[in-house]
A and B are shown apart, each in its own frame.
Chain A
Amino acid sequence: MRYLPLAPADRQAMLAAIGASSVEDLFVDVPEAARLTGRIRGLPDHAGELSVERQLGSLARRNMVAGEVPFFLGCGAYRHHNPASVDHLIQRGEFLTSYTPYQPEIAQGTLQALFEFQTQVARLYGCDVANASMYDGSTACWEAVVMARRVTRRGKAVLSSGLHPHYVSVCETMARFTGDVLDVALPELVAETDAERLLAAIDDETSCVVVQYPDILGRIADLAPIAERAHAKGALLIAVVTEPVALGAIRSPGEMGADIVVGEGQSLGVGLNFGGPYVGLFACQDKFVRQMPGRLCGETVDAEGKRGFVLTLSTREQHIRREKATSNICTNSGLCALAFTIHMTLLGETGLRKLAETNHFLATETAERLVEIPGVEVINDSFFNEFTLRLPKEARPVVRALADKGVLGGVSLGRLYPGAEALENGLVVAVTETVSRIDIQAFAAALEEALA
């Protein structure tokens, strides 16, 4: 077995040193009744690399690959071009096969990269500080709601109807157990976001308002009035950003008064991966730092006075505080955070702005082309790289018909909001720099045909 270095002679020598006659003797504490004597039935034996690659490759080939077809899906996961050096660097064994940096003297590489990550995320979000990452955007969102409860000592959260429905579901699942009260609503296929509803819903019991920016339908609204109203009532504004590239074009939530900004970082460096692993971003203003969940990397000095980095403020965390911790999170999304940071370093501000500009331009061009199709409307006044179409018929079968023609043409709102009839004609279309003019033409032609 190629991954097991012990030879039979080694095993014999080691058993002799231990004073056992067989490996089975070492399992003496396992009750006889629970001990399996042979190998588990119904499962195949070991296999060589070639055979494993063939088996799994045959499954991979049964999927329609995003990069091989006109592709317009978003809604919380975006397909961007990942520079070749990102994947090369994260595969260096010193990053890939290292552990959580609890021994900082021999983990400065991971720690310094995390410090760069935290700084990049804080600046992108317009916040003072950011943590070393969460599992993904949806879990980061719930953790932010819990944090707001700790800060305000209130238990009612107002969620925007423009918040990703999976994020809403995660909050609903958790709130059922924690007793938090959630004020939720379904989105409407109109140009305006639900800012008015949010302003009306904030009261003296409200711990936080959670607003996605741009929202699930792609709409962009100023967060400042909501922040102002929330603060006047002693509540926090939590902004959720599922597409970090947008912040190369539009103002950061922190600038507009958000207290906590969370989101998904998958767009940069990580890739689609069928939904995971992704990387949750979590940032806030300085005064809340001791209420943050997750790991934090901080600067310090070593015994010789040289600058170095360590994991810090760990008295918030489960391995020290146990049941009194701010969260149960242990592992974060270290390697994905590294990928995010390397991609962001390659882009720099210059590249990020240009990337955002390219996305937005191609999205506007796509929107203009698609509204030429009879019966198709764009509901958005504002958007970044994602907008919502109202089709003249139910969108879900249209998406399937498009897929049959080899076009992955967006996410139907019927998929995201099953049973919501008012939304069933909605189709959310995302356009990134990976979309070519030929793709736009192919999509438009296929959509026109599917609607005919």
Chain B
Amino acid sequence: MSMNREGRPTRPQDAEASGETFTGNRALMLEEPLIFEMGEENGTGVDFDERQEETIGHRGFEHDEDFYRDRLGGLQRRAPIGLPGLSEPQTVRHYTRLSRQNYAIDLGLFPLGSCTMKHNPRLNEKVARMPGFADIHPLQPADTVQGAYALIDMLAHWLVTLTGMHSVAMSPKAGAHGELCGLLAIRSALEARGDARAVVLVPESAHGTNPATAAFAGYRVENIPATARGRVDLEALKARLGPDVAAVMITNPNTCGLFEPEMIAISEAVHAAGALVYCDGANFNAIVGRVRPGDLGIDAMHINLHKTFSTPHGGGGPGSGPVVFSEALTPFAPLPFVEKQGDRYELIEEETAGEHHGRTFGRMTAFHGQMGMFTRAMSYILSHGADGLRQVSGDAVLNANYILRELEDVLDAPFGASGPCMHEALFSDKGFAGGLTTIDLAKGLIDEGFHPMTMYFPLVVHGAMLVEPTETESKAALDQFIGAMRSVAERAKAGDQSLKAAPIHAPRRRLDETLAARRPILVYKAPEQG
């Protein structure tokens, strides 16, 4: 018997690789069918307590005197619903596999301008899951939820103090819902003084939610132009102001990543014309601890807790959009809200509003807002404190300026010459060759292992690329990102057509969005038998 002295080969052998696999998987990149394709029509991953099953049995809702008579009003569901079920191991594997097809902040820098993808501290998750916050019902008697009311009041105090405003409405469910809240308060205030007005002015560079919200609140929307320096054109604004203008919606810092230096003059002009100033606070993270919107003449501003105060984006919500108000708008703020009365917190609702808050415009949502986001934001705020929050905006702005200056020699920076940016740096695809545009650089960035920046927004810059690194990136991470951006930008400027095929290393190549819209398939349908 001879010994195998070679053992397992420890050096790779030369061979041709086809890349094709039987399963369609590529090692750690695993393809996964829909739950409807897994043949588990009758499966389940939930067991019910045996003692209850004994009592209830499996006889369903039969009218059976020995058993019990159901009280479903004769509307028992008989036809199959079509909901497949998976055991726990199958479920965990299915969604774990799906999760691995996502990019995430936990994986790398997420330079999505205007969206603020910063690290989500896990302490916040832990706090939000404390049973005293997570397992309480919104209609419990006030005496049994004093701690919850206290937390809402504590967050409200911080938001009012950080913004230098007079009050805050906590119930709006997300930023756009907050915008609606602000505009409804403005409309109520104007109507209360017998001066209903019909028009809301919105800068061209605004988020799409601004004009959509104004329309949803019943206003006609008109655009106001930007200057060559990417700011609101104060003279054009002044020329348009008049007795029909109810409000101006300003984003500050604006969507070009620039602070509006004439903000105080803008507010004064708007107020002089009898209108009110709404500020889109999506970019409050750039100035938190350094500038108070209340000092800029703003009447209402929403705060996206998921942007400034790091509640997780969760693949598209849930958000939370508290709105801070000036003294003039405070009487019109929505219900419900928490009020401290002596040592006790009360929830002011329809019933009690009359005594305290008779001019409220009413309720915007069931119950009282995104408690699960309040707890996370509070945990974030207490962790940073007043000193840390000032550092947050400082580092966010420093990181963005570093990227601006390290890339402006390879990428067109339309407002680069007009001074420092705030928390995001704006570039464009000017100078790309061979028909390549912003989307090609974006998709090339995916192959480099990054989520793309915001593309084609703001609309005022052709082929815009808006980069927001946030304060939670290290210098090493920024340098690697800058290197990747430089490399892809050089290829785009050289007209490298291989970028048109990017991404090639992602779980999917470019997807046909035209086909999806032309022939919408929005739910799974089993293939026709035959």
Residues in B with CB closer than 8 Å to A248 are 77, 81
Interface mask (A110-143 → B, CB under 8 Å = 1, otherwise 0): 1011011011101110001110110111110000
Residues in B with CB closer than 8 Å to A179 are 218
Asked whether, in the complex, the Cβ of A303 is within 8 Å of the Cβ of B523, the reply is no
| Segment 46-63 of A: residues with Cβ below 8 Å from B | 46-47, 49, 51-53, 55-63
Interface mask (B381-406 → A, CB under 8 Å = 1, otherwise 0): 01111111011101101110110111
A252 at interface (Cβ–Cβ under 8 A)? yes
A451 at interface (Cβ–Cβ under 8 A)? no
Asked whether, in the complex, the Cβ of B387 is within 8 Å of the Cβ of A46, the reply is yes
Q: Which residue of A lies closest to B184 (CB)?
A: A177
The complex places the Cα of A43 from the Cα of B381 at a distance, in Å, of: 10
A332 at interface (Cβ–Cβ under 8 A)? yes
Interface mask (A1-32 → B, CB under 8 Å = 1, otherwise 0): 11111110011011101111001011111110
Residues in B with CB closer than 8 Å to A344 are 83
B312 at interface (Cβ–Cβ under 8 A)? yes
Asked whether, in the complex, the Cβ of A300 is within 8 Å of the Cβ of B515, the reply is yes
Tell me the minimal C-beta distance from A15 to chain B in angstroms.
7
Asked whether, in the complex, the Cβ of B361 is within 8 Å of the Cβ of A173, the reply is yes
Residues in A with CB closer than 8 Å to B364 are 139, 170, 173
B198 at interface (Cβ–Cβ under 8 A)? no
Which stretch from A151-159, A227-235, A305-313 is at the chain B interface? A305-313
Asked whether, in the complex, the Cβ of A308 is within 8 Å of the Cβ of B140, the reply is no
Asked whether, in the complex, the Cβ of A109 is within 8 Å of the Cβ of B139, the reply is no
Q: A47-B383, A52-B383 are in contact. Are A298 and B521 (CB under 8 A)?
A: yes
Asked whether, in the complex, the Cβ of B295 is within 8 Å of the Cβ of A33, the reply is yes
B76 at interface (Cβ–Cβ under 8 A)? yes
A241 at interface (Cβ–Cβ under 8 A)? no
Q: A97-B120, A312-B517 are in contact. Are A176 and B130 (CB under 8 A)?
A: no
Asked whether, in the complex, the Cβ of A296 is within 8 Å of the Cβ of B522, the reply is yes
Residues in B with CB closer than 8 Å to A42 are 161
Which stretch from B257-265, B270-278, B484-492 is at the chain A interface? B257-265
The complex places the Cα of A306 from the Cα of B26 at a distance, in Å, of: 14
The complex places the Cα of A10 from the Cα of B475 at a distance, in Å, of: 6
B530 at interface (Cβ–Cβ under 8 A)? no
B105 at interface (Cβ–Cβ under 8 A)? yes
Asked whether, in the complex, the Cβ of A52 is within 8 Å of the Cβ of B147, the reply is no
The complex places the Cα of A366 from the Cα of B190 at a distance, in Å, of: 52
The complex places the Cα of A57 from the Cα of B503 at a distance, in Å, of: 46
Asked whether, in the complex, the Cβ of A335 is within 8 Å of the Cβ of B446, the reply is no
The complex places the Cα of A303 from the Cα of B514 at a distance, in Å, of: 12
The complex places the Cα of A314 from the Cα of B520 at a distance, in Å, of: 12
Asked whether, in the complex, the Cβ of A350 is within 8 Å of the Cβ of B44, the reply is yes
Q: Which of B46, B145, B477, B523 contacts A274 (CB 8 A)?
A: B145
Asked whether, in the complex, the Cβ of B147 is within 8 Å of the Cβ of A272, the reply is no
Asked whether, in the complex, the Cβ of A39 is within 8 Å of the Cβ of B387, the reply is yes
B7 at interface (Cβ–Cβ under 8 A)? no
Asked whether, in the complex, the Cβ of A164 is within 8 Å of the Cβ of B366, the reply is yes
The complex places the Cα of A85 from the Cα of B92 at a distance, in Å, of: 7
Asked whether, in the complex, the Cβ of B508 is within 8 Å of the Cβ of A345, the reply is no
| Segment 302-335 of A: residues with Cβ below 8 Å from B | 302-304, 306, 308-310, 312-315, 317-325, 327-335
Asked whether, in the complex, the Cβ of B56 is within 8 Å of the Cβ of A139, the reply is no
Which stretch from B10-18, B29-37, B232-240 is at the chain A interface? B29-37
Q: Which of A25, A30, A99, A334 contacts B291 (CB 8 A)?
A: A30
The complex places the Cα of A100 from the Cα of B174 at a distance, in Å, of: 14
| Segment 211-267 of B: residues with Cβ below 8 Å from A | 211-218, 221, 258-261, 263-264
Residues in B with CB closer than 8 Å to A302 are 508-512
Asked whether, in the complex, the Cβ of A313 is within 8 Å of the Cβ of B517, the reply is yes
The complex places the Cα of A365 from the Cα of B55 at a distance, in Å, of: 11
Q: Which of A63, A335, A342 contacts B133 (CB 8 A)?
A: A63
Asked whether, in the complex, the Cβ of A95 is within 8 Å of the Cβ of B136, the reply is no
Asked whether, in the complex, the Cβ of B56 is within 8 Å of the Cβ of A357, the reply is yes
Asked whether, in the complex, the Cβ of A250 is within 8 Å of the Cβ of B77, the reply is yes
Q: A105-B508, A355-B46 are in contact. Are A400 and B143 (CB under 8 A)?
A: yes
Asked whether, in the complex, the Cβ of A252 is within 8 Å of the Cβ of B77, the reply is yes
B48 at interface (Cβ–Cβ under 8 A)? yes
Residues in A with CB closer than 8 Å to B110 are 99
A36 at interface (Cβ–Cβ under 8 A)? yes
Residues in A with CB closer than 8 Å to B412 are none
B493 at interface (Cβ–Cβ under 8 A)? no
B497 at interface (Cβ–Cβ under 8 A)? no
Asked whether, in the complex, the Cβ of B75 is within 8 Å of the Cβ of A97, the reply is no
Interface mask (A337-357 → B, CB under 8 Å = 1, otherwise 0): 010001011111111111101
Asked whether, in the complex, the Cβ of A100 is within 8 Å of the Cβ of B508, the reply is no
Q: Which residue of A lies closest to B95 (CB)?
A: A89
Interface mask (A64-89 → B, CB under 8 Å = 1, otherwise 0): 11111001010111010001010111
The complex places the Cα of A59 from the Cα of B104 at a distance, in Å, of: 32
B524 at interface (Cβ–Cβ under 8 A)? yes
Tell me the minimal C-beta distance from B85 to chain A in angstroms.
1
B52 at interface (Cβ–Cβ under 8 A)? yes
Tell me the minimal C-beta distance from A64 to chain B in angstroms.
4
Asked whether, in the complex, the Cβ of A173 is within 8 Å of the Cβ of B521, the reply is no
Residues in A with CB closer than 8 Å to B216 are 327-328
Q: Which of A45, A73, A76, A98 contacts B386 (CB 8 A)?
A: A45
Which stretch from A181-189, A379-387, A441-449 is at the chain B interface? A379-387
A40 at interface (Cβ–Cβ under 8 A)? yes
The complex places the Cα of A345 from the Cα of B296 at a distance, in Å, of: 50
Asked whether, in the complex, the Cβ of B61 is within 8 Å of the Cβ of A357, the reply is yes
A411 at interface (Cβ–Cβ under 8 A)? yes
Q: Which residue of A lies closest to B150 (CB)?
A: A59
The complex places the Cα of A354 from the Cα of B82 at a distance, in Å, of: 15
Q: Which residue of A lies closest to B260 (CB)?
A: A29
B134 at interface (Cβ–Cβ under 8 A)? yes
Residues in B with CB closer than 8 Å to A400 are 141, 143
Asked whether, in the complex, the Cβ of B508 is within 8 Å of the Cβ of A108, the reply is yes
Tell me the minimal C-beta distance from B201 to chain A in angstroms.
12
Q: Which residue of B lies closest to A178 (CB)?
A: B218
Q: Which of A166, A250, A306, A323 contacts B72 (CB 8 A)?
A: A250
Tell me the minimal C-beta distance from A247 to chain B in angstroms.
7
A391 at interface (Cβ–Cβ under 8 A)? no
| Segment 296-321 of B: residues with Cβ below 8 Å from A | 296, 306, 312-320
Residues in B with CB closer than 8 Å to A124 are 81, 83
Asked whether, in the complex, the Cβ of B261 is within 8 Å of the Cβ of A31, the reply is yes
The complex places the Cα of A345 from the Cα of B217 at a distance, in Å, of: 38
Asked whether, in the complex, the Cβ of A65 is within 8 Å of the Cβ of B132, the reply is yes
Asked whether, in the complex, the Cβ of A251 is within 8 Å of the Cβ of B77, the reply is yes
Residues in A with CB closer than 8 Å to B60 are 353, 357
Q: Which residue of A lies closest to B42 (CB)?
A: A350
Asked whether, in the complex, the Cβ of B52 is within 8 Å of the Cβ of A96, the reply is no
B73 at interface (Cβ–Cβ under 8 A)? yes
Q: Which residue of A lies closest to B517 (CB)?
A: A312
Asked whether, in the complex, the Cβ of A52 is within 8 Å of the Cβ of B77, the reply is no
Q: A302-B510, A325-B212, A345-B91 are in contact. Are A65 and B139 (CB under 8 A)?
A: no
Residues in A with CB closer than 8 Å to B379 are 52, 56
A421 at interface (Cβ–Cβ under 8 A)? no
The complex places the Cα of A302 from the Cα of B143 at a distance, in Å, of: 56
Q: Which of A18, A31, A101 contacts B264 (CB 8 A)?
A: A31
Q: A52-B127, A93-B105, A408-B137 are in contact. Are A118 and B146 (CB under 8 A)?
A: no
**Given pairs A40-B289, A164-B366, A358-B52, 8 additional interface contacts (CB within 8 A):** A3-B472, A59-B150, A88-B92, A130-B523, A251-B75, A275-B369, A300-B511, A319-B208
List 13 A-B pairs, Cβ < 8 Å. Answer: A14-B399, A39-B289, A39-B386, A88-B92, A97-B106, A123-B523, A169-B363, A272-B138, A276-B371, A330-B174, A331-B316, A349-B42, A418-B351
The list of the 10 closest CB pairs from A to B, nearest first, reads A348-B85, A60-B132, A335-B314, A275-B367, A382-B73, A93-B106, A62-B147, A275-B138, A334-B316, A277-B318
